[in-house]
Structure 1
């Protein structure tokens, strides 16, 4: 049987013979008696021909051997372990010298042995290889690796996904981080932004830099290669014989040339889509950062040109090590401050006490930590400026601001809140807009969103994670939600800011939010920073203005369902008593008449107890002391 391998067109006899000699040295099945330039063609009757198509010439495999041997991840089976590891130790020492890098590569290769070689045996193999290397290094014509790797900085220690990832991390770790909960974070000279695409761009950039590095070195070597004559020598004999002929200078040039060629072949492959993504995948553990390390300083506010310290009002340059992931849309400025102050006068009907209070409350939304555990409810009829006010602030805060569905704050919401909650991590202002009339507030969700307790959240297709809320929660609405809870803990968390203006006629500017952001965005931010500083200086303890206190009390009274029931259906006196079951049944009937939500017996009797009405057992059943049903309802 004859096997024929196609090769590139060759017209030089010596080169052709050299290729055959190299093949014979590499493949033991090659006929050693057929190394000259003769070619014989045999005629065969009725030949059986099988064609196997390949992707490369056999000559190309000769250049791949060293690279494939180095980077093979195949297990080294018993029977070939010692010889393979011995052989690799010698080659890696000659290539990298007696360095930590060489030892690490040796240990990686040895880890592929199946079953593993004993540690003492591996140490003996390494010591023997080092002795061999000393002899080689002492030879006059030995070329140390630093001579043929000079000028090469981006070459991986091993041609593999992990090797490329190590270079990637070394070159870009000051600009790229990875967190399982956020994905890749890329520093853009101002803040760390979540961007898989930009991380991919850096992986591509590394490949381009590697190829550029190689091409520059090859260009520098071009004249030396021509003068050395190594190509002519290589074309006339095998590599083994050529190495015997080369002097030290020629060997140095040859080693560098073959090293660069292998490196370039590898670098070109790294440009494949699979390889680009493989680099990113293997870099993740090396670049990992805990999401809790992000945005840790609650008093730093990032703007396009600088970072503001809210405690002092001072500005400084951006720093990657701050790990800030947000940025405002504008820098603070005095420009058109009069426009913003005029708008405030309109929104709050020239109430200076209310404006001063709102400045501090809004200023707190710049701080990345919850210092006031409250839901801010901006309430009033339409066309009063509440949405314009908060949307202007939201637009100025830009990435620091986010939105949340208002129905998450209500009872019976069927929405999966976790993806939305995940987007609130690191936000400083969270806005919910407009509730339908008659909806009840989910006090449990409100407490969670306004507290400093950890929240469990999960972005789509990412790992769940926990974070501590850092936001001020604002709801602006024409309809106040109903509140069933009577406890002080709930009402302490509800702050109602009334918007009583009527913006219409000549005072109604179309697209008012756009106008304020475009004309006075910097002024808005400066006003907010001043408000944050005031709140910090007062240790976040400032009294409610009369309008806010009155609005909260009115809201609380209107939601005191138990008091409404007593006033409507009961008479109060310490001498009165009524059967407990009949009182609760009348309460249910009252709710059906008024359309109010019916509380459970547990909630109803808890409200009785909280208001001083005690229940006791009698021979006629359980009675309630201190009240009786009005005669109309008996």
Structure 2
């Protein structure tokens, strides 16, 4: 048995799993049995993540046999009867998990999967095309299981059969197609006269019509072939063979999926470079894959599949390799065509009977043209083989970068577009705005699931628990989350979800983030606080294109870095750089969330920072019967689509309200209390000073008193320059006299006074 490569997951029976990282070489029944006990795929995918768009290569074709095509038991297919139908074809079978069990309304019957070894295929469409051909030819193959991203459920009791054959199914299909196209008229014409002349002319006419169509060139070549018959066929018989072939060719042309010869040749020529250089190959790559491959200095290579552009240099390399495979196939096809032309024009006979130089001297115009095409095809074959070397792949990608260049600003540029696995939505118009994916959208993010209605009541119940049934607060939070789904900052804010433990804040925000998929990201809490010594630019770079950034659990007593918060919660450009990549600037598109048990201290009363801080109180106590283990997982699996629909509705509502966000009383009160708690100057005045226009205090003594008070209460004191600026900001005047600098309007309390 020819080896087949399969990939297993770590689980069995998990429909939502898409990760198949473990390769297995399957040759024996024992090999296949080990694989089929787990969920598995028979193709390699980019990063091991299954989808038709991430298809890399496969040397195995798998087909489903459910026997759902008939209720007649005598017509049900078994591995043994399949072997008879595909005589000589190598295959292996494994029973499925529903083998001899009732399935839906259907009774128990044989159900199994068929694994065919094939020559390696690196094109997902070609791979799916073979499955489609088999399903069209044999009605017992499931026609709904023919995509290139198919996975097979594993189960504990597979039964394996092995059929050793001399042929592979892809070779069998190729021969079957040729036989089918002209079998009907070929059989009929063979009865005209004994011998091989009729059959030979029939097959030759068929190849000509497939390749050239009903053209003068095709007829001329056919007549030349007929002239070589010995003894010659009567002219009427030759004409009858040609008419029969053209009639059946027209039948083929009318079949769905037929590609005219001119279009077919054009599609082949499209991957041939204009010149055999690195730049020529790069142009061929850019022309062949404009909707699959892009380059950006900030991200390196971007590859498109399943409706999203993602960063992957290996995937770009795979596409460059695929181009060389297409070129090699095209070159070999041209070479075979050239050989046919050499034979048809008689040039091949001359080359076989004398030296190349003598033959060339005797060539007529048609023979010279055929020989030139032959030499050109050989050169193309050599070029394609050379391009498949590592240096050729590397040089092609290097030269293609400016041709496929995309700026960071072009990526995720439409703030209202929300990309989901099944399509994209305009958040201004809600669920009714769905349209199909388009590579030109240049989206690099995608939600983890599609919007839906299943589990909507569970989500509403959860909101009632999280926010204690406060409808006004729930509506406000829905609009906050809706703002986060939009890729443009309309409200400059750091949203702080605050409360003691076991109140649902982490469950709520982590569920929202999980639903939003790669639109959401995380940021270390120490980026937002003072004291960190590390370079934060790489972490800032990860915010590019994100719409929800979550930071979790700041430590008690830490001070907020107001400069970083202002930068992240703004519409001004952020300068950042990914590790080992070029620096770049981007306009923020995210909403920043901090959920914490401890509010960070804010060391300034600057209105620029306080207008950005929104405190959402989480005051519920989730315990006892209302405490579901792994509640975030439960909500995601049971109500994920409904949660996304709720988020999208929040975006539609806040847009309809022109982005005017009106805070409910609980948010206003919590934010005001937070500001009051951080008004250190008011607290100092209350604790250490008497206030009266007639009072004054030496400036140095006032600062020392403040410093002692600050160190005793918070362990940190502001420098004198900041302290003096705050004093003047609050309306106290500083005047220098012959006795020193004094502050007027206050005086330190006598520590002996009550």
Q: Same fold (TM over 0.5)?
A: yes
Offset, 1:231: 4.5
Offset, 1:236: 6.1
Which residue is 2:671 aligned to?
Answer: 552
| 1:263 pairs with 2:380 | yes
Q: Supply the distance in 2 between the matched residues of 1:153 and 1:284 (Cα, whole angstroms).
A: 20
Kindly name which structure, 1 or 2, has the bigger radius of gyration based on alpha carbons: 1
Greater Cα offset, 358-367 or 195-204? 195-204
Q: Supply the distance in 2 between the matched residues of 1:238 and 1:496 (Cα, whole angstroms).
A: 91
- 1:189 touches 1:320 (CA, 8 Å); kept in 2? no
Instruction: Output the aligned Cα RMSD.
Output: 1.8
Q: What are the superposed Cα offsets for residues 519-549 of structure 1, whole Å, 9 maximum, x if unpaired? A: 1111111111111111111111132111111
Query: Matched residue pairs, number?
Result: 487
Equivalent residues in 2 for 1:188-203 (5 A)?
Answer: 188-203=305-320
Q: What are the superposed Cα offsets for residues 310-329 of structure 1, whole Å, 9 maximum, x if unpaired? A: 11122222222221111111
- 1:404 touches 1:420 (CA, 8 Å); kept in 2? yes
- 1:162 touches 1:279 (CA, 8 Å); kept in 2? yes
Equivalent residues in 2 for 1:41-440 (5 A)?
Answer: 152-231=269-348, 233-234=350-351, 239-313=356-430, 314-440=433-559
Q: What are the superposed Cα offsets for residues 291-319 of structure 1, whole Å, 9 maximum, x if unpaired? A: 11111111111111121111112222222
Which residue is 2:733 aligned to?
Answer: 614
Which residue is 2:564 aligned to?
Answer: 445
Q: What are the superposed Cα offsets for residues 185-219 of structure 1, whole Å, 9 maximum, x if unpaired? A: 22215122222122111111111111111222333
Q: What are the superposed Cα offsets for residues 473-528 of structure 1, whole Å, 9 maximum, x if unpaired? A: 00011110000011111110100001001111111111111111111111111111
Q: Supply the distance in 1 between the matched residues of 2:350 and 2:437 (Cα, whole angstroms).
A: 58
Q: What are the superposed Cα offsets for residues 70-105 of structure 1, whole Å, 9 maximum, x if unpaired? A: xxxxxxxxxxxxxxxxxxxxxxxxxxxxxxxxxxxx
Offset, 1:239: 4.2
Q: Supply the distance in 1 between the matched residues of 2:674 and 2:715 (Cα, whole angstroms).
A: 16
Q: What are the superposed Cα offsets for residues 206-241 of structure 1, whole Å, 9 maximum, x if unpaired? A: 111111112223334444434545455446655444
- 1:419 touches 1:458 (CA, 8 Å); kept in 2? yes
Given the superposition, is the C-alpha separation of residues 633 and 330 from structure 1 closer, same or farther in structure 2, using an over 3 Å criterion?
A: farther
Equivalent residues in 2 for 1:450-469 (5 A)?
Answer: 450-469=569-588
Greater Cα offset, 158-167 or 337-346? 158-167
Q: 1:542 aligns with which of 661, 664, 674?
A: 661
Given the superposition, is the C-alpha separation of residues 633 and 402 from structure 1 closer, same or farther in structure 2, using an over 3 Å criterion?
A: farther
Q: What are the superposed Cα offsets for residues 268-308 of structure 1, whole Å, 9 maximum, x if unpaired? A: 11111221121111100111111111111111111111211
Greater Cα offset, 464-473 or 540-549? 540-549
Q: Supply the distance in 1 between the matched residues of 2:589 and 2:270 (Cα, whole angstroms).
A: 43
Unaligned runs of at least 5 residues, structure 1: 1-145
Q: 1:625 aligns with which of 738, 744, 751?
A: 744
- 2:270 touches 2:288 (CA, 8 Å); kept in 1? no
Q: Supply the distance in 1 between the matched residues of 2:437 and 2:564 (Cα, whole angstroms).
A: 36
Q: 2:600 aligns with which of 476, 481, 500?
A: 481
Q: Secondary structure at the match of 1:496?
A: strand
Greater Cα offset, 212-221 or 366-375? 212-221
- 1:385 touches 1:499 (CA, 8 Å); kept in 2? yes
- 2:338 touches 2:371 (CA, 8 Å); kept in 1? no
Q: What are the superposed Cα offsets for residues 327-378 of structure 1, whole Å, 9 maximum, x if unpaired? A: 1111111111000010000111111111111110111000001111010000
Which residue is 1:583 aligned to?
Answer: 702
Q: What are the superposed Cα offsets for residues 7-53 of structure 1, whole Å, 9 maximum, x if unpaired? A: xxxxxxxxxxxxxxxxxxxxxxxxxxxxxxxxxxxxxxxxxxxxxxx
- 2:703 touches 2:723 (CA, 8 Å); kept in 1? yes
Q: Secondary structure at the match of 2:549?
A: strand
Which residue is 2:92 aligned to?
Answer: none
Q: Supply the distance in 1 between the matched residues of 2:616 and 2:730 (Cα, whole angstroms).
A: 28
- 2:500 touches 2:597 (CA, 8 Å); kept in 1? yes
Greater Cα offset, 479-488 or 613-622? 613-622
Q: Supply the distance in 1 between the matched residues of 2:683 and 2:715 (Cα, whole angstroms).
A: 11
| 1:472 pairs with 2:591 | yes
Q: Supply the distance in 1 between the matched residues of 2:287 and 2:349 (Cα, whole angstroms).
A: 40
Q: Supply the distance in 1 between the matched residues of 2:538 and 2:355 (Cα, whole angstroms).
A: 65
Q: Supply the distance in 1 between the matched residues of 2:580 and 2:635 (Cα, whole angstroms).
A: 38
- 1:152 touches 1:214 (CA, 8 Å); kept in 2? no
Q: Supply the distance in 2 between the matched residues of 1:462 and 1:240 (Cα, whole angstroms).
A: 57
- 2:498 touches 2:618 (CA, 8 Å); kept in 1? yes
Offset, 1:171: 0.8
Q: Supply the distance in 1 between the matched residues of 2:752 and 2:648 (Cα, whole angstroms).
A: 58
Offset, 1:595: 3.2
Equivalent residues in 2 for 1:518-529 (5 A)?
Answer: 518-529=637-648
- 2:445 touches 2:519 (CA, 8 Å); kept in 1? yes
Q: Secondary structure at the match of 1:631?
A: coil
Greater Cα offset, 513-522 or 229-238? 229-238
Which residue is 1:594 aligned to?
Answer: 713
Q: 1:510 aligns with which of 623, 629, 636?
A: 629
Which residue is 1:111 aligned to?
Answer: none
Q: Supply the distance in 2 between the matched residues of 1:398 and 1:153 (Cα, whole angstroms).
A: 37
Q: Supply the distance in 1 between the matched residues of 2:544 and 2:738 (Cα, whole angstroms).
A: 59
Which residue is 2:230 aligned to?
Answer: none
Equivalent residues in 2 for 1:556-575 (5 A)?
Answer: 556-575=675-694
- 1:572 touches 1:627 (CA, 8 Å); kept in 2? yes
Q: Secondary structure at the match of 2:751?
A: helix
Q: Secondary structure at the match of 2:453?
A: coil
Q: Secondary structure at the match of 1:503?
A: coil
Given the superposition, is the C-alpha separation of residues 297 and 223 from structure 1 closer, same or farther in structure 2, using an over 3 Å criterion?
A: closer
Q: What are the superposed Cα offsets for residues 426-458 of structure 1, whole Å, 9 maximum, x if unpaired? A: 000001111111100000000000011111111
- 1:586 touches 1:633 (CA, 8 Å); kept in 2? no
Which structure exhibits the higher relative contact order, with contacts defined as CA atoms closer than 8 Å and separated by 6 or more residues? 1
TM-score, normalised by the number of residues in structure 1:
0.75
